A = this chain, B = another copy of it.
């Protein structure tokens, strides 16, 4: 009934949850195993070293982004729709668990992560930047929203703003994320 990879997926899910709520150094194999009702050796079977787990997590995030954006990147489409989907995803994720952005979490421990994890994390971030830059460029061209200056730095400010807002929201209140999202909308001339 249960698939062979079931435990592996459960480990990934729990690890993702913990990463976004405590940072990569803030959880242990025990936190994962006890939650699943298994022993820590079982987790080590699927991910021998913690770095393997980190790599799998980043890879998963990257693949998710690719799946959600590949069509847009290849053939274009409605930029506003892409943008709204991204904002809603972020907002929903944050409202259920007050979790922070995985990139933000990894950035803290970045200097101590293995080279391969660092490279994959950087790749993931650069792909995200590239995607949003194109969304902004296409959306402005299609007059779905407006802003002045290059799309690149604008994309950076939006991504950085969301990442920071999620962290600030957990110290203060989720209202902060909502306010920042509204401000981003306003600065893009999007009517809500």
Contacts and interface: CB of A to CB of B under 8 A. Distances in A.
Contact of A183 (B25, B109, B153): B153
- Secondary structure at chain A's binding surface: helix, strand, loop or mixed? helix
A171 B122 contact: yes
A177 B27 CA distance: 29
A109 B26 contact: yes
A125 B169 CA distance: 11
Contacts of A162: 160, 164
B109 A100 contact: no
Can you tell how many copies of this chain the complex includes?
Answer: 2
Contact of A149 (B26, B180, B183): B183
Interface centre among A111, A125, A160 (most CB of B within 10 A): A160
Interface of A: 21-23, 25-26, 100, 103-112, 118, 121-122, 125-126, 148-149, 152-154, 156-157, 159-165, 167-168, 170-172, 176, 179-180, 182-184, 186-187
Closest 6 CB pairs of A and B: A160-B164, A163-B164, A164-B164, A107-B167, A160-B165, A23-B108
